[in-house]
Amino acid sequence: MSSYYAAIPPQVYEVTWQSGHVERVIAHQVISGSSRVRVAALGDNSFATSSEDTRLTFHAEVDGQWVLQLSALETDIRTIRNITNGEQTPGGAS
């Protein structure tokens, strides 16, 4: 059985918690059950609904196994940045 993600490198995410603690999470996938996160990604959260117990989950394929890397309440996280390629400037040259 071949690994779907064998040729796909994982992404590196910098998670800043509400407490100010910063950590890095390596994952192939980030999932949110919240419409607030999806709408906020578009720059407008005026139509979003809030849920106190919405979780964000980060998954990665490790040694051919799909592994939960992190599961956290959305309200516990201040920011998430994809830092796989270092600091990125929107619209900048690649």
- Would you write out the chain's pLDDT as a tens digit for each of its 94 residues? 457 777 889 999 999 999 999 999 999 999 987 655 544 444 454 444 555 678 999 999 988 899 999 999 999 999 999 999 887 667 766 5
Task: Note whether residue 70 is domain-resident.
Answer: yes
CB within 8 Å of 15: residues ≥ 6 apart: 22, 23, 24, 25, 70, 72, 77, 79, 80
Q: How many domains does the chain have?
A: 1
Task: Note whether residue 92 is domain-resident.
Answer: no
Task: Note whether residue 39 is domain-resident.
Answer: yes
Cβ count near 1 (within 10 Å): 4
Predicted local distance difference test score (pLDDT) of residue 35: 57
